Structure 1
Amino acid sequence: MDVYLHSTGTVLPGPPIDIPTLAKMFDLPSVWEQWADSFIDTPTRHYSVDLDSGELRFSLADLATTAGERALAAAGAAPSDVDLVVMGTSSPDMLMPATVNVVADRLGIDDVATYQLQSGCAGAIQALDVARRLLGSGGHRTALVLGADSCAKHLDLTADVSALPPGEQVNGVLFGDGAGAAVLRTEPGAHEVALRWTRVRCVGHGREPGQTLNWFGAADRHADRPAAIEDYQAVRDAVPPLAAETLDEALEALDWDRGELDYVLPPQLSGRMTDEIHARLDVPDAQEVSCVRDTGNTGNALPFFQLERLLPRMIAGDRAVGVAIESSKWIKAGYALEKVGA
């Protein structure tokens, strides 16, 4: 059974925060600004926390609910139409209840199957994969797929950032907050874009994690270990070839020629990394759909920001492949779309 992408919805919290603002806030030297500009090249990001007061303005459920509302409205779908909700996130508001269920409740969605996938940057595509397979089996007709992340809970506004090791400093530059959503159905919608293929594979056997996020309970809340660590060099080394492998797998599975690809949606870790990955993908005839320089790295929300840019541009016969790579234990994920109507 074919599955169709009907709509997307996204949200970013608060105003954009640029590198000079971060440098001033944490009293960082100009050399840090130069490093962030040249090595990371992600000009802005958005935070759910107010940087002046430290007040948390938006929970992950707040953001995901808004994205879900926007996706449903864009699809002309009512909450009662939804019979499946799948969410990917690496930063739920709490361990229980799952954020997906809080969002479903706020949206007025009830008596449906819900799933929350704990994953980093590949989580949104994992959610698309689960939804596509369940819709394709004939058991469901309409799915709301969510991807959202918030690094706000890891921001220590009192920290001496200049004293932190690079693996902790880089997280504050790389990541921001945001949420995205999509409506999938078994009938074509106004866009008539078919979700042709999804694939998720863990390839982390024998590899050290490239990123670690820690959770703290009552017994270890004062433990002397960082909340977030990023091995950015390991990510730079591993992600481009993994992304190229995923694109090749999509083209082979669908029997699409490289020259037939109209759009490519590469991983969005940072502005600089996206450029490196896109060059490695070697699809000069395909248009790149990227957003990280505008949105910051919003984790599992990012694919929906890319899709939001892609859908209005597709015309009959257009083909697109999206790729996401998670560095925590090395997951490669991809999806393919084809415009089947006028």
Structure 2
Amino acid sequence: MNTPTIHILSVRTALPGPLVDNAALARRLGVGDAWAQWAETGVGVRSRHLARDLESGEITHTLADLGESAAREALAAAGLDAQDVDLLVMGTTMPDMLMPATVNIVADRLGVNDVPTYQLQAGCSALVQAFQIAVRRLAGGAARTALVLGGDTWVKHVDPSGDVKRLSPAELVTLALAGDGAGCAVLSVEPRPGAPVLRSVRSQLAGGPPAQTVEWFGAHAGTGRPAVTEDRAAVEERVPVLAAEAWRELLEDAGWKDSDVDVLLPPQYSGRITTRVSELLGLPGLRATSCVEEIGNNGNGLLLFQLEQALAGLTGGGRAVGLTVEATEWARGGIAVEVP
């Protein structure tokens, strides 16, 4: 889907609490230095920010807190206020609660009223789906300015202050990989000098049995079932393949060649998978914007963290492609962005 008239006025992100490195997390889990080393070399994460205090175990930030912070900064950077917003769309795997919708809590805090709001609940593809909805409504004339929010707070599902011996292997991987955070992009049909343009937004189901599940609190409470399950081998095998497919589809949509792209924003399930995606694309010289080593995998916030960083370094004519692959029910997609 070509979107030559949708401009990105700003992208801003928010992280909770102080940086937590592998050594500090290992000490809290009581698993020792070997686990900390494995988290860096085997998973590809050195540090992350968590929405839970490691010492007290208390939740310090909600997704609504992080979304509100990112949205306020994004609006300020775009030179807009709440009255300029015509639409809010949020993509998340883990809303704060079933009701009310987290996107509506954010809208209420911002003072945005009398506009449509949407919340999409899915794995790592929810943010791109949120972009799709915003782009279609903007391009169709239903709105002129939209906030697209994405983020997750994983740590509320796996408590690092609990008994680590009771955790499944998949939950231990999640603790190593996951970081909490959220972001917000301001989209508009109003042209602005130098504002990046969305050239393609795509998300589609790829099919196949899920390689990851995250239980909701109600259905399996007290059953002893693990909160998180993951087929790591399937993730490492299939994510790069689907990312390469999404790359080809996005470039075809945008009318670009491989050599036209300056920056790759890869799916970041781990540092190793990021490297494998680049290898599979056969573009060893392509610069990749990677955040997972420092802030972990923020789920639906991660692409916004990557995009914020990439746009800061792109000049006129610069192009970036962001890829997402969701392993929970296997979806592929992404965005193509150009700085005029």
Q: Shorter-chain TM-score: which interval?
A: over 0.9
1:122 paired with 2:125, answer yes
RMSD over aligned CA atoms reads 1.5
Query: Distance between the aligned counterparts of 2:205 and 2:58, measured in 1?
Result: 37
Work out whether residues 191 and 311 of structure 1, in 8 Å CA contact, stay in contact via their aligned partners in 2.
no
Match of 1:262 in 2: 262
Work out whether residues 177 and 270 of structure 2, in 8 Å CA contact, stay in contact via their aligned partners in 1.
yes
Q: CA deviation at 1:88?
A: 0.3
**Runs of at least 5 residues in structure 1 that lack an aligned partner in the other structure:** none
1:247 paired with 2:247, answer yes
Match of 1:209 in 2: 210
Match of 1:336 in 2: 336
Work out whether residues 132 and 201 of structure 2, in 8 Å CA contact, stay in contact via their aligned partners in 1.
yes
Match of 2:80 in 1: 77
Query: Cα distance 1:158–1:291, how it changes in 2: closer, same or farther (>3 A)?
Result: closer
Match of 2:65 in 1: 62
Query: Distance between the aligned counterparts of 2:102 and 2:217, measured in 1?
Result: 18
Match of 1:39 in 2: 42
Query: Distance between the aligned counterparts of 1:234 and 1:165, measured in 2?
Result: 17
Q: One-letter code of the match for 1:174?
A: L
Number of residue equivalences: 337
Query: Distance between the aligned counterparts of 2:169 and 2:266, measured in 1?
Result: 25
Q: One-letter code of the match for 1:297?
A: N
Moved more, 228-237 or 94-103: 228-237
Work out whether residues 6 and 191 of structure 1, in 8 Å CA contact, stay in contact via their aligned partners in 2.
no
Q: One-letter code of the match for 1:237?
A: E
Q: One-letter code of the match for 2:114?
A: D
Query: Cα distance 1:284–1:188, how it changes in 2: closer, same or farther (>3 A)?
Result: farther
Show the 5 A alignment for 1:66-145. Answer: 66-145=69-148
Report the identity percentage: 47
**Runs of at least 5 residues in structure 2 that lack an aligned partner in the other structure:** none
Q: CA deviation at 1:122?
A: 1.5
Q: Render the CA deviation track for 1:27-76: whole Å, top value 9, x for unaligned.
A: 11443233222111210011111010011111111111001101111101
TM-score normalized with structure 2 length? 0.95
Work out whether residues 54 and 161 of structure 2, in 8 Å CA contact, stay in contact via their aligned partners in 1.
no
Query: Cα distance 1:334–1:220, how it changes in 2: closer, same or farther (>3 A)?
Result: closer
Match of 2:222 in 1: 222
Q: CA deviation at 1:110?
A: 0.4
Query: Distance between the aligned counterparts of 2:48 and 2:59, measured in 1?
Result: 16
Work out whether residues 8 and 308 of structure 1, in 8 Å CA contact, stay in contact via their aligned partners in 2.
yes
Secondary structure of the 1:196 match is: strand
1:50 paired with 2:81, answer no
TM-score normalized with structure 1 length? 0.94
Secondary structure of the 1:86 match is: strand
Query: Cα distance 1:69–1:338, how it changes in 2: closer, same or farther (>3 A)?
Result: same
Secondary structure of the 2:194 match is: coil
Match of 1:292 in 2: 292
Query: Distance between the aligned counterparts of 1:187 and 1:282, measured in 2?
Result: 37
Match of 1:319 in 2: 319
Q: One-letter code of the match for 1:249?
A: E
Query: Distance between the aligned counterparts of 2:136 and 2:308, measured in 1?
Result: 22
Q: CA deviation at 1:159?
A: 3.5
Query: Distance between the aligned counterparts of 2:147 and 2:140, measured in 1?
Result: 16
Q: CA deviation at 1:271?
A: 2.1
Q: CA deviation at 1:314?
A: 1.8
Q: One-letter code of the match for 1:325?
A: V
Moved more, 10-19 or 281-290: 281-290
Query: Distance between the aligned counterparts of 2:97 and 2:171, measured in 1?
Result: 23
